[in-house]
């Protein structure tokens, strides 16, 4: 009974853990989130869930440790919305030394309740990257580019005014792509704190008053140990499948798997794997900035390459499919954000692999076509048999046995029992035969 009571108590502790990260005096804890790399759907989902978790635990602060070259506009705005609507203050800390908050990272830093950086880091270069088929380069930007820059400048200026930071420099970061070091950013009131590590950051935050969702509060963070929220399996899976290269590979596996299942009904495995991969690819693509013309070309290319295996086009369909696939893959992801392009080497590899698969399938089909027929009525032509019986000696009609079956046979020459004959034709249920040896005499 004692053992059962102890086991039950341990289960309850596992299901209902005590609040994490509280200080010696019982002050609410501090959460820690880490964002390394491009701001995309996975990072945005991780930050949103991390902030929500801190709110559920009643923590007094969330530290967002960030090092990013930028990211997707939709993912960035999702993170900023979570920060602006968070009941828990968010401190964005650009660290460690050598890290940066470029492009999308600058917007997130400006949106945070407290902006901090470590020495040796930089912030800025927030000019949006123009996307779309009508991209232009040169001294005279396109109207779409001007609209994007104006929108981004107003957005960042609004965030700066909300947090009482340098709005003029924010606009220059968008229009002129300027950058600042940590010390310069502190002097120009772009950030609030320069801290080399988390203990120093928490010590400088201690006693600082701030407001989150209209609620004034004072921080008590000195000497606290942050409670880090690590990415869960969902975030890791999302990070894997939302990589453009992985999404393209999943789409190819999915389509090929379904085609192989249709070619071999009942094999099951290709159909199951193909359906799962195709659904994962479609989910990933709807989270990414996809150029639908590129997506259409990729799908058209794959279908043409598959059609080559069924239609005698002498390679025209297959060659057109490879060209369409490569062109579509090059324009599939509609952004120039670092880390979100599909490497040309991967596209070339997939194109070559598809071509090898295509021509390998065609070669197997041609080899099978040249093989003689081994079953069915057509296999009777050219086969040999022996005469089982005739009505009377010298008749040109009788019965022969072929593969254990009795057939009626007719010949232009007299037939005799046990005579070997060769089948040369068929008329309905009667086989045309010619003798190939002389009849055996009793």
Domain-ending residue, one of 370, 394, 426? 370
Asked whether residue 199 falls in the same domain as residue 89, the answer is yes
Q: How far apart are CA 19 and CA 27, in angstroms?
A: 11
Residues 135 and 274 in one domain: no
The per-residue pLDDT for 22 is 46
Question: What is the distance between the alpha carbons of residues 389 and 421, in angstroms, rounded to a whole number?
Answer: 13
Can you tell me the distance from the alpha carbon of 201 to that of 65, in angstroms, rounded to the nearest whole number? 11
Within a domain: residue 130? yes
Q: Which residues contact 298 (CB under 8 A, 6 or more apart)?
A: 248, 251, 324, 325, 328, 329, 332
Residue 205 confidence (pLDDT)? 93
Look at residue 9 and tell me if it is in a domain. Answer: no
Strand-pair partners of 387: 400
Same domain, 77 and 139: yes
Is 210 among the domain residues?
A: yes
**CA angle (343, 344, 349) in 5-degree steps:** 100
Q: What is the mean pLDDT of residues 372-392?
A: 76
| Residue 237 in domain | no
With a threshold of 0.75, does the pTM exceed it? no
Contacts for 15 with CB less than 8 Å, ≥ 6 apart:
none
Instruction: Report the domain count for the chain.
Output: 3
Same domain, 38 and 171: yes
Rounded distance between C-alpha atoms, residue 421 and residue 436, angstroms: 5
Question: In this structure, is residue 138 part of a structural domain?
Answer: yes
pLDDT digits (tens, 9 = 90+) for 195-242: 999 999 999 999 999 988 888 888 998 888 899 999 888 888 888 888
Structure tokens at 277: 């991969």
pLDDT at position 134 over 50 = no
Quick check: is 63 in a domain? yes
Of the three residues 370, 388, 421, the one that is the final residue of a domain is 370
More confident residue, 144 or 97: 97
Residue 69 is encoded by which pair of tokens? 């070259």
Assess if residue 110 is contained within a domain. yes
Q: Residue 12: what pLDDT? A: 45
Per-residue pLDDT tens digits for 21-63: 444 345 688 999 999 988 989 999 999 999 999 999 999 999 9
In terms of domains, do 185 and 262 share one? no
Instruction: Enumerate the active-site residues.
Output: 103, 147
Q: What is the dihedral of CA 294, 297, 303, 305, to 10 degrees?
A: -110
The pLDDT of residue 32 is: 95
Alpha carbon distance 156, 167 (integer Å): 8
Distance CA 282, CA 285 (A): 5
Rounded Cα–Cα distance for residues 44 and 41 (Å): 5
| Rounded average pLDDT over 252-261 | 85
148 and 86 share a domain? yes
- CATH number of the structural domain spanning residue 400: 2.40.50.140
Quickly state the pLDDT bin for 265 (edges 50, 70, 90).
Answer: confident
Q: Which of 231, 262, 277 is the last residue of a domain?
A: 231
CATH number at residue 174: 3.90.226.10
In 125-197, where does DSSP find H-type helix? 143-163, 167-175, 182-187
φ/ψ region of 235 (left if φ > 0, alpha if ψ in -120 to 50, else beta) reads alpha
Average pLDDT over residues 76-93: 95
Do residues 62 and 185 share a domain? yes
Domain identity same for 360 and 413: no
Q: Answer yes or no: is 6 within a domain.
A: no
The pLDDT, as a whole number, for residue 68 is 93
Determine the pLDDT at residue 374.
57
Give the least confident one: 112-126, 294-308, 355-369, 409-423. 355-369
Q: Are residues 390 and 265 in the same domain?
A: no
Does 182 lie in the same domain as 48?
yes
Same domain membership, residue 177 and residue 118: yes
Check whether residue 76 and residue 199 sit in a common domain: yes
In the structure, what pLDDT confidence band is assigned to residue 9 with cuts at 50, 70 and 90? low
**For residue 313, what are the domain limits?**
242-370
What pLDDT score does 372 carry?
64
């Amino acid at each position: 009974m004692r053992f059962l009571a102890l086991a039950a108590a341990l289960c309850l502790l596992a299901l209902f853990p005590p609040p994490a990260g509280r200080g010696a005096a019982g002050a609410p804890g501090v959460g820690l989130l880490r964002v390394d790399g491009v701001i995309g759907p996975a990072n945005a989902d991780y930050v949103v869930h991390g902030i929500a978790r801190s709110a559920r635990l009643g923590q007094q602060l969330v530290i967002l440790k960030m090092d990013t070259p930028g990211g997707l506009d939709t993912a960035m705005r999702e993170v900023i919305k979570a920060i602006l609507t968070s009941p828990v203050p968010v401190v964005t800390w650009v660290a460690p030394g050598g890290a940066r908050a470029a492009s999308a990272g600058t917007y997130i830093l400006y949106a945070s309740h407290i902006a901090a950086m470590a020495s040796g880091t930089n912030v800025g270069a927030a000019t949006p990257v123009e996307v779309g088929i009508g991209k232009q380069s040169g001294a005279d930007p396109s109207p779409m580019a001007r609209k994007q820059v104006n929108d981004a400048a107003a957005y960042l200026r609004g965030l700066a005014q909300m947090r009482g930071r340098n709005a003029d420099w924010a606009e220059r970061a968008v229009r002129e792509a300027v950058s600042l070091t940590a010390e310069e950013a502190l002097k120009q009131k772009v950030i609030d704190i320069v801290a080399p590590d988390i203990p120093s950051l928490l010590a400088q935050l201690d006693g600082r008053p701030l407001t989150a969702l209209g609620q004034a509060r004072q921080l008590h963070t000195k000497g606290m140990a942050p409670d880090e929220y690590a990415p869960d399996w969902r975030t890791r899976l999302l990070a894997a499948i939302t990589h453009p290269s992985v999404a393209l590979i999943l789409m190819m596996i999915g389509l090929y798997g379904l085609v192989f299942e249709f070619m071999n009904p009942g094999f099951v495995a290709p159909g199951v794997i193909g359906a799962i991969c195709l659904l994962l690819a479609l989910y990933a693509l709807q989270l990414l900035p996809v150029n639908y013309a590129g997506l259409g070309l990729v799908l058209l290319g794959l279908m043409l390459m598959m059609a080559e295996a069924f239609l005698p086009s002498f390679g025209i369909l297959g060659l057109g499919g490879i060209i369409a696939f490569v062109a579509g893959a090059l324009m599939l992801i509609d952004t120039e954000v670092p880390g979100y392009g599909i490497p040309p080497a991967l596209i070339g590899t997939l194109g070559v692999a598809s071509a090898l698969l295509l021509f390998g399938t065609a070669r197997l089909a041609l080899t099978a076509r040249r093989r003689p027929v081994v079953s069915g009525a057509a296999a009777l032509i050219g086969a040999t048999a022996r005469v089982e019986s005739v009505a009377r000696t010298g008749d040109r009609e009788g019965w022969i046995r072929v593969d254990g079956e009795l057939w009626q046979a007719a010949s232009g020459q007299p037939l005799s029992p046990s005579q070997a004959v060769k089948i040369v034709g068929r008329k309905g249920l009667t086989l045309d035969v010619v003798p190939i040896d002389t009849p055996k005499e009793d």
